[in-house]
Amino acid sequence: MVAISTFSILLRRLFTPGTIVSLKTLYLNGMYLIPGQEIPLTFSNRITLQFITTIIEHDDSRTFGIRIGRFEDRFGTTAEIRSYSFKDDRSSITIKVQGRQRFTIIDDRNNEQGEYQPNVQILSELDMHDFFRPIIQSEYRLSKKSRSLLTPLLSNSIDQYDNQILMSRLKMILMKIFEYRLKNEEFSYPVDAIAFSYFVLMAIPFPDKIKTSLLKIDCVNLRLRLETSLLNENFKFVCGTCRQNLCDRNSFLVMSKLGTSGTFVNSNGIVHELYTFSKVENTRRVSLYSEDFSWFPNYGWIIINCRQCRTHLGWEFETHKPNIVPKKFWALTKNSISLLFQYDENCDESYVYKLLEQDLNVDINQW
């Protein structure tokens, strides 16, 4: 067995929103890093290993960029290295990164070492709640007639920028979806509006195109309203390969303090982004029960494939201990499943904006 040395990094670095910085950047096909999200990554490729090692040893910010979505989207998130571990022979490195800030790529370029290091612009987080704060605060003290003297805007127009109202509406929808299936006592919703909007993106496996569109929105109020519109729709989960039905939206199960999702790395260094469910159908067990390297304490795992096309979907977890609940749940990988809306199974960016205009009666072109 090869020994591993682990180091933690306490330094934190944020770039000034709106500034343009030269940022070493990786494109990891299919990888999404959302601000606030922590994920483990393992690299053994010589070029990428040198790339990460240089950042750790020579960059005080310990920060690089991860390009997300389609390559042509020219969009990404800064990734701050929070801890790292080398094998003693330095043949591989495992790092834990945290998503920090969104950015757009201004121009492509390589540095003198041939590494991809584009100029990127750090995006701002616009919160219209701050602009309307005096009016919103007066809403709780003044009569309807008195409020009309402060602004010609209707009360429901102001509500669109009241973060407490927006988050309360979204929490009600999420609680209906989860149906109080909160099996982790450490779980709690974020209290900050920006963090809450990103939590929703982590908790729900939206299609990649929709997730990218939501991440590109600078206004947190608009992002929260759009997420509310999306989650008001009925949706289900199917096999990403053959479209076999797997479960509906009411099968979500909160099994970690982070919610319904989690990112895990197995003993071979492969990263899996998982979503947990209380009930799944049309799967086939293809391994024996094992408790080795289980990601969920007190549970053993069984590999499951799609019953129809035999694509690997994830794992079925069981416990043999009498006082542990639930006795069984499923963890499906993000890359193996697809979320389908009831009214539009071929949804793309236009579906997001159609929902926004339909539910909120605004013209997206005005933003």
Give the residue-averaged pLDDT of 146-151. Answer: 51
CA distances from residue 237 to 89, 99, 240, 245 in whole angstroms, order as listed:
43, 26, 9, 6
3-state secondary structure at position 111: coil
Q: Which two tokens stand for residue 88?
A: 């003693």
Collapsed DSSP state (helix, strand, coil) of residue 287: coil
pLDDT at residue 69 greater than cutoff 80: yes
Q: How many other C-beta atoms can be found within 10 angstroms of the C-beta atom of residue 125?
A: 15
Model confidence, pTM: 0.83
Question: Residue 146, SS3?
Answer: helix
Name the least confident of 23-27, 70-74, 293-297, 315-319: 70-74
Q: Where are the domains of the chain?
A: 4-122, 129-233+343-366, 245-340
Fold classified for 4-122? 2.30.130
Check residue 298 and give left, alpha or beta (phi > 0: left; psi -120 to 50: alpha): left
- pLDDT, one tens digit per residue, over 4-40 is 445 555 556 789 999 999 999 999 877 889 999 998 8
Predicted local distance difference test score (pLDDT) of residue 6: 52
- Could you say which DSSP state residue 61 is in? T
pLDDT higher than threshold 80 for residue 187: no
Residue with tokens 């007190």: 298
Average pLDDT, the chain: 82
What pLDDT sits at residue 338?
93
Q: What is the mean predicted confidence (pLDDT) over 337-342?
A: 87
- At 358, phi and psi to the nearest 5? -70, -45
Position 130 scores a pLDDT of 64
Give the rounded distance of the alpha carbon of 150 from its chain centre.
Answer: 39
* Residue-level pLDDT at 3: 41
Q: Which of 103-107, 183-187, 257-261, 295-299 has the highest mean pLDDT?
A: 103-107
Q: Which fold has domain 129-233+343-366?
A: Methane Monooxygenase Hydroxylase; Chain G, domain 1 (1.20.58)
* DSSP state for residue 335 in the 8-state scheme: G
Average pLDDT rounded to a whole number, residues 281-301: 94
For 30-68, write each residue's pLDDT tens digit: 788 999 999 888 888 889 999 999 999 888 889 999 999
DSSP H helices, the chain, are 46-58, 128-131, 133-139, 144-150, 155-159, 163-178, 193-203, 208-216, 220-231, 349-360
pLDDT digits (tens, 9 = 90+) for 78-96: 999 999 998 878 888 889 9
Banded pLDDT at 195 (limits 50, 70, 90): very high
Question: What local confidence, expressed as pLDDT, does residue 2 receive?
Answer: 40
Residue 1 pLDDT level (bands cut at 50, 70, 90): very low
Q: Which CATH homologous superfamily contains domain 245-340? A: Peptide methionine sulfoxide reductase. (2.170.150.20)
Q: Is the pLDDT of residue 191 over 50?
A: yes
Predicted confidence at residue 283, as pLDDT, reads 97
